[in-house]
Each structure stands twice: as C-alpha cells, then as structure tokens.
Structure 1
Amino acid sequence: MASFDNNPLARSQQNFNKPARFSEEEWQARIKLAGTYRVFAYLGWDESIYNHISLRVPGTNHFLINPFGLHYSEVTASNLVKVDIDGNIIGESDWPINPAGFTFHGEIHAKVADGHCVMHVHTTPTLAVCCLEEGISYSNFYSAQLYGKVAWHDFEGITLRSDEGARILASAGDKPVLMLKNHGPVVIGATLAQAFSLMWLVNRACEVQLASMSMGKVIRIPEPILQGCVADSLNFDPRYGAGEDALAAMIRVVERQDPSFKY
C-alpha cells in the first residue's frame, strides 16, 4: 500500500492540476465526488473506513468509489478508485475497494436508467429508524417530502453475496430511497447532488423522528398534505438544480477547511 500524507497543510500546497490520465469530464467528477466524501465526514455521516458513495464516470460504464482503507477525510480526486459494473478495478490504484461496497451498487448502476449515483450510510438516526417496525414516520417537515419515495428490504446480513444485489434492486422498485431493514439507507440519484439532497432528507427526517417520538405521540400529517409536500419539494425539481446549490455550498465549506480533496 502506498503511504498517505495526512497533513492538511502539506496536502493543500500540492498542485491540483488534472493528471494526464484522466479526461476533463472524469476529473471534474472526481473532484466533486471527493468533495462530497469530505462533506460526509464534516457532517458526521462517515463510518470509520466503511460505507460508500459511487458515481458514474460521465459517458461511460465505469464508476468511482472510495479507496478501502482511507477515512472519508483522506479521499481525494486522484485516489478514488475506478471500477467496472462488476467491481473490477480499471487502471491503476494503490487501494482496493470494499467487496461489500459494490454488491448492490453495481446492480443498481447496471439496471436503473438514471441510477448514476448511489449512497449508503450507517448514521445513528437512519440506522435506528431502519430497526423500527414502523419505519419512517411521516410526521415531520423532512419525512413529508419523502412520502411515496421510500421502499424497504429485509435484512440478509452483510451485503457480500452478489445474488442479494438483484433482490435489493427488486425491493427498491421505482423508489429513490431504499431502507435496508436493521442496516441503513440507500439513496439513488440521477446526479451526485440529487443523491446528496435525498440523503439529507432521510437523515434529517430520522433525526427529528427519534427526537419527537422520545417525547410522546407525534402529530400525523394528512395524506393530501404529504403529497403536496413531495410535489413542492425543491429536491426533486430540476428547475432548481435538484440539490446542486446545496451540495455546492457544502463543498465550499469543506474546501475552506482543507482543499486537498481536489488533488
């Protein structure tokens, strides 16, 4: 394994020019994805060296995913690993990928037409709600925007077996959010920003649900209001970037702290 310099100042002084081996489109995708990994670390959505965000390289059937062994705060544009639909590494990489990381990601990328970005986390609130028989309670501002957008998949253990990928895909159906019971959420986006916006909604919905239910009975929101919230949500409206502005703002936050993800 190659050594990795964890000194943010030293890394921030390096040259961020595009390496010749990457096209301009791939390099920009790498920078944006690496920035998003840093945003996840900033928000506390990281899980040691585990969990994943995978993103299609524009115009190809190749995908970028985090190097297995690095914390999200160590991910950079150049050390992201490029893989094919079966998880085979394309080109050179100093790092492997987590086998569990692409079991269902690959299936989604292969079969969902607009499944260009897939995210999976184990944050405490989302995992806790995945363990509830009731699941998501459509009783707060955030969950209201997810009404009719969430599917569920029964727990089968650690996602190492390729045959589970097909079952996960079947469980997801046409829904962009899949709650893996006893495990954690998966979101599917046409873009990195849309997937981020969905994950933001899921995480905040679960945070508020746990807080409100700990105090007593929640106020249920009538179905017509829920349907209106989904229709009005900027997170699904391409006219407003479907989350592009929100993700860009968060990447600016982490860039001010440490711009080395652009290397």
Structure 2
Amino acid sequence: MNTPEKSIKHSVSPEEWQTRVNLAACYRLIAKHGWDDLIFTHISARVPGPEEHFLINAYGMLFEEITASSLVKVDLHGNIVQDTGYPVNPAGFTIHSAIHEARADAGCVLHTHTRAGIAVSTQEDGLLPLSQISMLPCSSLAYHEYEGIALNGEEKPRLVADLGTNNFMILRNHGLLTVGQSIPEAFLFMYALETACQTQVMAQSTQQSLRLIDPRIVAGVKAQVQLVTKGMGGDLAWPALLRKLDRLDPSYKD
C-alpha cells in the first residue's frame, strides 16, 4: 500500500488537518519507540466539531508509513464517512468506539501490544508501584479481563465500566491502553505505562526481592505530576517530539 499521491489538506477544516498531523505523528512516534505490532493495534482521535467522527489508521499500513492524509475518518461504528481510498478494520475499532462513545473527554485512545505490556498483563498482581515512572499509571489504573479478540460489541459496556474515569488500562492477557484529552496526552500516558512495564519486567528478571513504593505516595502523585508538567500534560514535550520527527522524516505531515 502506497501513501497518497495528493494531500487532502485543502478538503478538510484546519482543525481537522491539525488533528490529522498530530495523530500521524503519534503513529510515527509509536513506531520509532518500537511499540508497534506490524499493522495491528490502533490509535484513534476525535475530529473537532459536533459530529461523532474519528480518525484511525488505514488497515494494512505500517505505523511508520502513516501520513495525515492516509488517516481514515469513521463514525462510532467504524463506517467510513469520507472516502480517501483507504480501508479500515471495523473490528479493530471496537475498543476505541466504546470509549469514545462513553467518555466525552476521550480525545485520543491509544492501544498497544508490546512485549513488556503483554507480559505485565499476564501477571496476577498487574502493574506494581516499583519505580517513579510507574507512579503516574498506578494513580489512575484500571483492568479489563480477557474476553477473546475484540470483535463482540457486547463486551463494550463491560470495558467501559472497568475503565471508569481512569486514563490507563491493562487489558488482561492482551496489552495496554491509554485515554487522553488530547493526542499528546495519550502518548505521554503510554510512554509512562510502557516504561513502567519494561522496568517491572527488567526488575523481576533479577530474581531479587522488590521494594514497593508506599501507597500513600502513589495517592499523592497526581498533584505532583501537575507541577512537573507545569499543568501542560503531554503538550509540554510534544513540540520537541515533533521537531525530532521533522529532523528524521517530515513525511508524516503529507
């Protein structure tokens, strides 16, 4: 599958185009960090405006190939609402559509199948408060039991109920998920969750006794995060990440 020959920048609103650029950048960053899974998993983002429309990757493209113009606009059922010549996997939108429909604050939903994330998802105790980076996800973490490949719409209410108002979720025996008000926020949340999982797996591999962080510290971490990010959340690091992408390969903006 090739990237589009022509940009669709002038056929969408400036607000949608900016969302497309940020979402394409997020796909490229996931690939750069090695968190992609061939053509599988998804990142979805709400299109600004009153319509319940969302952007998601074209099915069959590697994350490193995603561009702003190749992203597919769909409704809550995964139906394509603007034909750009690219297919979408409706089944892959099951998890995302459930969260977008239930959470008005879900500007972006990011889902991965990383080795470290899956490894932690198989552990009975899940994510442990072992490291400073684990504090953020541990302060807003939910779990959802495995029900098979996410094709069944009947799973949606259980998924939504398990997530609640949390921004991090471990899908048991499956992978990781973050929900952000914006694309930069969802990426920052995944960075924290994935790094925490990698650190946990590495610490467990030493076969040494592990020191857990005091639960009282975990309880107070949200206020501390606000101070560290100056209240900007993912937006604090996002411009620097875009500058890095521009140096490496700016084609995500096509």
1:226 is aligned to 218
Which of 117, 120, 133 aligns to 1:126? It is 117
Is 1:200 matched with 2:198?
A: no
- In 1: Cα distance, 2:217 partner to 2:11 partner: 51
- In 1: Cα distance, 2:77 partner to 2:6 partner: 33
| Superposition CA RMSD, Å | 1.9
- In 1: Cα distance, 2:30 partner to 2:226 partner: 21
Amino acid at match of 1:127: I
Which of 100, 106, 110 aligns to 2:97? It is 106
2:204 is aligned to 213
Which of 148, 157, 160 aligns to 1:169? It is 160
Deviations, residues 82-112 of structure 1 (Å, cap 9, x unaligned): 0011111011132211233210211111111
- In 2: Cα distance, 1:251 partner to 1:207 partner: 24
Which of 57, 62, 71 aligns to 2:47? It is 57
2:136 is aligned to 145
Q: Do the aligned partners of 1:197 and 1:235 also contact (CA within 8 Å) in 2?
A: no
1:23 is aligned to 13
- In 2: Cα distance, 1:138 partner to 1:19 partner: 44
How many Å apart are 1:19 and its aligned residue? 2.9
- In 1: Cα distance, 2:140 partner to 2:227 partner: 12
Q: Do the aligned partners of 1:36 and 1:251 also contact (CA within 8 Å) in 2?
A: no
Query: Which of structure 1's runs of 4+ aligned residues deviate more than 3 A?
Result: 234-237
Deviates more, 1:139-148 or 1:166-175: 139-148
Q: Do the aligned partners of 1:149 and 1:177 also contact (CA within 8 Å) in 2?
A: yes
Deviates more, 1:176-185 or 1:211-220: 211-220
Bigger relative contact order, structure 1 or 2 (CA pairs below 8 A, ≥6 apart):
1
- SS of the residue 2:234 aligns to: helix
Amino acid at match of 1:4: N
How many Å apart are 1:220 and its aligned residue? 1.2
Deviates more, 1:110-119 or 1:224-233: 224-233
- In 2: Cα distance, 1:251 partner to 1:235 partner: 23
CA pair 135-236 structure 1, distance change in 2 beyond 3 A? farther
Q: Do the aligned partners of 2:139 and 2:221 also contact (CA within 8 Å) in 1?
A: no
Amino acid at match of 1:25: E
- In 2: Cα distance, 1:159 partner to 1:138 partner: 29
CA pair 173-235 structure 1, distance change in 2 beyond 3 A? farther
- SS of the residue 2:9 aligns to: coil
Is 1:117 matched with 2:115?
A: no
Which of 166, 173, 185 aligns to 2:176? It is 185
Amino acid at match of 1:84: D
Deviations, residues 172-212 of structure 1 (Å, cap 9, x unaligned): 11211111100001111111111111101100100111111
Deviations, residues 11-35 of structure 1 (Å, cap 9, x unaligned): 9xx886x632111111111011101
Amino acid at match of 1:26: E
TM-score by length of 1: 0.90
1:256 is aligned to 247
TM-score by length of 2: 0.93
Which of 232, 239, 243 aligns to 1:241? It is 232
Amino acid at match of 1:149: S
1:8 is aligned to none
Which of 80, 87, 102 aligns to 1:96? It is 87
How many Å apart are 1:156 and its aligned residue? 0.6
Deviations, residues 99-142 of structure 1 (Å, cap 9, x unaligned): 33210211111111201110000111111100111100111111
Q: Do the aligned partners of 2:79 and 2:90 also contact (CA within 8 Å) in 1?
A: no
